[in-house]
Amino acid sequence: MVKLSGIVVLISGRGSNMESLASNVDVRAVICNVPEAAGVGIARGMGIECIVEPAMDGVASALDSLDPDLVCMAGFMRILPPDVTERHEVMNIHPSLLPLFPGLHAQRQAVRAGVAYSGCTVHMADAGVDTGRIILQDAVPVMPDDTEDTLSGRILLREHQTYTRAVRLFLSRNDHDAPESGAVFDDAGEAAESAVRRGGVAYLWRNGGTFAVSGNHPDNTPCVLSVPGDDAGVVAARLRNTVRW
């Protein structure tokens, strides 16, 4: 039997993250669980096979027969059963700086909480809701007059860039080590304290058994963020939850 591979994207709606991914990396197929979703037409218009499969069992069988190297959930509004996330490498994108504001209406939660910054997180999917290991985060400021819609639009632009970067990191994950730059700490909690103390947006990543903090984005490695207003405990939780490939 010929083994098909590549990237399969799961969608339920508008499909803008899928469109952005397919414009930047090779997407083998799209699976959509909502027949009338706008993303179906977008995928087919791009010449990508789009399987419409409302039932979760059907989604799971389609994934098993496609046997992709990577599954990217992009606005897929169902939780995958644990056996699916165990059989496949699955990523998700979420419109907040996890672990803050998981679940539905993340941007509304951020506006209501009055945070100064929010953003997006690409993470590996596990059996929980937005709990899997974090690959990349990116931040945007929340303006005093922001509504759920205006904040969503600002975050979405970053989602498109961040998802492509995360997929490229995954595809090249065995080819490079974490950069040796940044202040280095033995303990994730100390790294988080240092990031919060330095103020501004800081980038934190794992460097073997140590943790690095820098004001500059490290290329080629999974990283999480500390943003103004963050609690050091939240930042440490993010850092401990970075992906280990």
Interior angle at CA 199, CA 197 and CA 201, nearest 5: 130
Reply yes or no on whether 217 is catalytic.
Answer: no
Which is closer to ligand GRF, CB of 196 or CB of 227? Answer: 227
Check 94, 105, 160, 217 and give the catalytic one.
94
Nearer to ligand GRF, 159 or 193 (CB): 159
Q: Which of 7, 13, 66, 139 lies at the binding interface for ligand GRF (CB under 6 A)?
A: 13
How many Cβ atoms are within 10 Å of 231's Cβ, its own excluded? 12
Q: Which is nearer to ligand GRF, 91 or 202 (CB)?
A: 91
> Which residues have C-beta within 8 Å of that of residue 62, sequence separation ≥ 6?
31, 51, 53
Residues pairing with 242 in the sheet? 134
Per-residue x/- track, 55-94, ligand GRF (CB under 6 A): -------------------xx-----------------xx
The distance of closest approach from Cβ of residue 179 to ligand GRF in the complex, given in angstroms and rounded to an integer, is 27
Closest separation in Å from C-beta 43 to ligand GRF: 11
Q: 83 is written with which tokens? A: 């056996």
Q: Residue 218, SS3?
A: coil
Cα–Cα distance for residue pair 245/236, rounded to 1 Å: 19
Query: What is the footprint of ligand GRF within residues 94-133 (CB under 6 A)?
Result: 94-95
Using the minimum distance from each CB to ligand GRF, give the nearer residue, 75 or 218.
75
Q: From the list 7, 9, 17, 119, which residue makes contact with ligand GRF (rule: CB under 6 A)?
A: 17
Quick check: 159 binds ligand GRF (CB under 6 A)?
yes
Please pick, from the candidates 16, 85, 162, 241, the single residue that binds ligand GRF as defined by CB under 6 A. 16
Is 182 among the residues that bind ligand GRF (CB under 6 A)? no
At a CB cut-off of 8 Å and minimum separation 6, what does 80 contact? 56, 59, 60, 73, 90, 125
Find the shortest distance in angstroms from Cβ 165 to ligand GRF. 15
The answer to whether 221 and 169 have CB atoms below 8 angstroms apart is yes
Q: Does 28 bind ligand GRF (CB under 6 A)?
A: no
CB within 8 Å of 194: residues ≥ 6 apart: 183, 185, 213
Rounded to an integer, what distance in angstroms lies between the CA atom of residue 226 and that of residue 207? 17
> Closest approach of Cβ 159 to ligand GRF, in Å?
5
- Sign, CA torsion 165/170/155/115: negative
Which of the residues are catalytic? 94
Binding-site ranges for ligand GRF (CB under 6 A): 11, 13-17, 74-75, 93-95, 156, 159
